[in-house]
Structure 1
Amino acid sequence: MHSTARNPFVEPFFDPATFTVTYVVHAGRGSACAIVDPVLDYDHKAGRTTTGSADRVIAFVREHALSVQWLLETHAHADHLSAAPYLKAELGGTIAIGEHIRTVQGVFRDVFNLGAALAVDGSQFDHLFADGETFAVGELQARALHVPGHTPADLAYQIGDAVFVGDTLFMPDVGSARCDFPGGDAHTLYRSVHRLLELPGETRLFVCHDYPPESRAPRFETTVDEQRHGNIHLHEGVSEGEFVAMRTTRDRTLSMPNLILPSIQLNIRAGHFPEPESNGVRYLKIPLNAL
């Protein structure tokens, strides 16, 4: 079975611990592929990382004789650690994110007082995408779309008729992502979502997370038409002012994600761990009363 350059195959891997979906996008057995938003497992009680989620992705790639060309991050995630360096070591590929990661690095270098230990030029990543930049995943044509609002650096990746929206949108019955992280902005998110909703109605949208109500199992795929008509926060007819009022009020009630402190420190480094200290152990920082 083989896809076309317009309709790639998309294999999801759902991580119930973080509600994150990792995707492998490819054109069929033996083709090039991209891996989107890979998860490194993290036990925050013990400060221990493991690779079970990433190993499932590796097994799929090898079973289907795929060649990893890209390891794509939609943004610097606050709810899981990136497995991109581990996957690159095992499978190869280019680790990429949007060029506005530099802004996010600058903000969090100050939050964590990292100083010279963190360059804020995006050099930890292999490639930084500009808005509208085109690229290829083997025979599949792709485009990076800057969709800020949740964070300043969010990208969506359009690969054929599939768009990986990161945290710009959730499933229609869940709505939209928070905008209260540093650099987030509800007005900006509204406009970013509408950029996506201008795509053809049949365009497939793949979300980065699903937080399903008790009435259904996790789902990861929707369409532009479904979002236009059914998104509880952003359906047709919702004005920018109405959305901003709702989103701002709702964000005030939300606690910080469980893994924001460890995950941000690694993810602004493209998933790379800090250098070991004199005892050979790597450490992350916990800023007190700072967020």
Structure 2
Amino acid sequence: MRMMSNDSHLNQAIEQVRAVLGGEGAAPIVKGFFHEPTFTASYVVHDPATKVAAIVDSVLDFDQPSGRTSTESADELIDYVRSNGLSIKYLLETHAHADHLSAAPYLQEKLGGEIVIGREILTVQNVFGKIFNEGSDFARDGSQFGLLVVDGQTLELGETAVIALHVPGHTPADLAFLIGDAAFVGDTIFMPDYGTARADFPGGDARTLFRSIRRLMELPSETRVFLCHDYKAPARDEFAWETTIGAEREGNIHVHDGVAEEDFVAMRTARDATLDMPRLILPSIQINMRAGHMPEPESNGTRYLKLPLNTL
């Protein structure tokens, strides 16, 4: 058994998982939806006793060449929620994604719920507000979101607690949401055979990412882990987006138990230098830093996205 950490918020999360595993309350029911065009996993998670639910990291379909959006993927989540008689309380965003557009406002319109993200979204809004030369009409106070949460903050999902854990490194604003015994870890770690997320975006940091991941690794081995992405490891033919903390500790190719911080930082920095920018980073960040809302229409009634040249 691992020693208890001095991290009080993490210890609260550890005790919550142990309680669920020990039969003190039912484990939440999780349904995953995989969006292959962006390799993104979204989730509907609900408390079985009350059917109160949250949606995690939703996707709005976007065809970049035409500039058209559609809601086919989000409608799948809506159909699942309605067919199972669920009530949406939260629309959880683990961070401001750089690889897909959030469907949170559309889902909120159809199902209700409060859009939730980490308070460090203010940092992201300030950084990218400058990159996109946003004017004074773009609020940089997080007010586009319904609720900004901080490390250790607890929300209620029916009879199930949701604990927010701040896990920066990929971006400054990344959160993991621990719901019962299920950890939704966003872009921190991937399947054990694929490794970890990049840390070279503005505000990202490989050393910080390592420490955030090691923090998550303190959760009990049986903790269920739900990932935001999968890209198929070279020897794997199927997409996968659920694992456990134990499997990550033992087998994550980048950050398994025994990997030193300096070795991880050197590996991650060298690897990130070879990666292209995500295909949808420019439209995604502009929209996701607004909680999934589109920019305001211009005088002709059309909404526009910016393409900063030679910047990223």
Q: TM-score range by the shorter chain?
A: over 0.9
Partner of 2:290: 269
1:30 and 1:65 in contact (8 A); partners too: no
2:169 and 2:210 in contact (8 A); partners too: yes
SS in 2 for 1:21: strand
Tell whether 2:136 aligns with 1:129. no
Query: 1:32-77 deviations in whole A, cap 9, x for unaligned?
Result: 1000000000000100000000000000000001000000000000
1:131 and 1:146 in contact (8 A); partners too: yes
Partner of 1:55: 75
Partner of 1:156: 176
What TM-score results when the alignment is normalised by the length of structure 2? 0.91
Partner of 1:245: 266
CA distance in 1, matches of 2:249, 2:31: 24
Partner of 1:139: 159
1:130 and 1:144 in contact (8 A); partners too: yes
CA distance in 2, matches of 1:216, 1:234: 23
Partner of 1:194: 214
CA distance in 2, matches of 1:261, 1:118: 16
Q: 1:115 aligns with which of 135, 138, 151?
A: 135
**Amino-acid identity (%):** 62
Letter aligned with residue 25 of structure 1: V
Report 1:1-291 matches (<5 A): 5-28=25-48, 31-213=51-233, 215-291=236-312
1:150 and 1:178 in contact (8 A); partners too: yes
Letter aligned with residue 79 of structure 1: D
Gaps of 5+ in 2: 1-22
* Structure 1 ranges of 4+ moved more than 6 A: none
* Cα RMSD for the two superposed structures: 1.2
Shift of 1:124: 0.5
SS in 2 for 1:76: coil
Partner of 2:18: none
1:8 and 1:161 in contact (8 A); partners too: yes
CA distance in 2, matches of 1:148, 1:206: 17
Letter aligned with residue 311 of structure 2: A
CA distance in 2, matches of 1:228, 1:55: 36
Letter aligned with residue 296 of structure 2: E
Shift of 1:29: 8.1
Gaps of 5+ in 1: none
Letter aligned with residue 284 of structure 1: L
Shift of 1:118: 1.3
Shift of 1:139: 1.3
Shift of 1:117: 2.5
Shift of 1:137: 0.8
CA distance in 2, matches of 1:58, 1:26: 14
What TM-score results when the alignment is normalised by the length of structure 1? 0.97
Query: 1:217-239 deviations in whole A, cap 9, x for unaligned?
Result: 11111111100000000001100
2:120 and 2:172 in contact (8 A); partners too: yes
CA distance in 1, matches of 2:47, 2:26: 10
